[in-house]
Structure 1
């Protein structure tokens, strides 16, 4: 279902809903708050266009952690507001950049909607491929191998907005990730909070060099990125 709302800002300064969709995974909303664009899923704030430091870290640190190899292939799980894709496209060392996004609305907001300016250059890059699919389904169906998987599909392993995303952070989901990584490949997972339990799960499910990097935010606990490597 597609139900656009009025776009005139209310006098009291409240956020303005630009688009609201109901689909297979529930409700997803794009709204404007001042100069910011925000994505809300099932009533829960996911992300906005205010900063993007941790989303850029997700991609930058994954590349830095890779052994030197020509044209490494990157898979981005989740398009969001486009910070990770834009960061990847700015880096000439990446070979192929595949973005997997399951929400049709998010894809459309980038192709022809309010989020288009954030990723226009990256989407025009010949290395970029945008796939509309569920991430785990893509990992199980594709025969491609990637040198880095950078995943930002929810608020993290301990705080999922949709129940279906929990399987990504399970032994089964991690096995699917590991199977699609090249030897020495890097898995990077964005999270709204540090998860020691997820770190332990990574260590117990075939990953090595597990570590976490934090990015301070204006309010609340830092954003984090969990990193792990498939042994060579």
Structure 2
């Protein structure tokens, strides 16, 4: 039986340790006993971008993606947006980008050289704050996949993004008709209520982690500013 091979480790801002492994031709990023993402299960992360852009109906959109991860959401977005679009990514750890261009370079390809990409090593909340302060343009869509859902599993600081105040800031950072899309590993009725309380139009969408209706059940919330 093949054992998974440890490739790299990196500490994130809160001192938690992220680890990169490979197993049977796949990559996985792990924190403790939690597998945060894997190349085996990318479908729902791709759907986060595909379904948001489909609902938005604006191929030249300016979008913000919170969390690069393995780049599945980003690559799905760039495949569906026009040359005039802008894709801003906030990734908290530069090690994640180093892994993307190092051990996972074959997966990444040349996607990080896309002229539409504005990659920032920062907390996504900072870019949302910039849009609210008028120091940066607002977004047509904000796609959040900075944790395993709105529970701050990876970083306690992520809880503020999913709080009522954080969600209100995300709403205010959107242009009229803009969409806040949030990925989660599972349902969260309390979060859905907080999202509803922002005054956005909410759709809760169930999606599998793999195509052909296979894999774990994940949730994407689409919240549109009217």
Match of residue 85 from structure 1: 74
Q: Where do 1:178-189 residues align within 5 Å?
A: 178-189=171-182
Match of residue 3 from structure 1: none
Match of residue 51 from structure 1: 41
Which is bigger in relative contact order (C-alpha 8 A, separation at least 6)? Answer: 2
Please, which runs of 5 or more residues in structure 1 have no aligned partner?
1-11
Q: Could you say what secondary structure the match of 2:108 adopts?
A: helix
Q: Could you say what secondary structure the match of 1:71 adopts?
A: coil
Match of residue 119 from structure 1: 108
CA separation in 2, counterparts of 1:70 and 1:31? 35
- Describe the shift of the 1:23–1:59 C-alpha distance in structure 2 as closer, same or farther (beyond 3 A): closer
CA separation in 2, counterparts of 1:226 and 1:61? 11
When the two structures are superposed, what TM-score results if normalisation uses the length of structure 1? 0.86
Give 2:126's match in structure 1, choosing from 134, 137, 159: 137
* Alpha-carbon shift at residue 138 of structure 1 (Å): 2.3
CA separation in 2, counterparts of 1:83 and 1:23? 21
Contact 1:217-1:223 at 8 Å conserved across structures: yes
Match of residue 147 from structure 1: 140
Match of residue 221 from structure 2: 226
* Alpha-carbon shift at residue 132 of structure 1 (Å): 0.5
CA separation in 2, counterparts of 1:220 and 1:86? 21
- Between 91-100 and 74-83, the greater mean CA deviation after superposition: 91-100
Does 1:107 pair with 2:102?
no
Alignment size in residue pairs: 217
* Alpha-carbon shift at residue 220 of structure 1 (Å): 7.0
* Alpha-carbon shift at residue 47 of structure 1 (Å): 0.4
CA separation in 1, counterparts of 2:139 and 2:108? 22
RMSD between superposed Cα atoms in Å: 1.9
Please, which runs of 5 or more residues in structure 2 have no aligned partner?
none
Q: Where do 1:184-223 residues align within 5 Å?
A: 184-208=177-201, 210-217=202-209, 221-223=216-218
* Alpha-carbon shift at residue 22 of structure 1 (Å): 2.2
Q: Could you say what secondary structure the match of 1:166 adopts?
A: helix
Q: List structure 1 runs of 4+ shifted beyond 6 angstroms.
A: none
**What is the CA deviation profile of residues 95-150 of structure 1, one whole-angstrom value per residue up to 9, with x for unaligned ones?**
1111110012101112x311222233321221111110011122213522110111
- Describe the shift of the 1:217–1:18 C-alpha distance in structure 2 as closer, same or farther (beyond 3 A): same
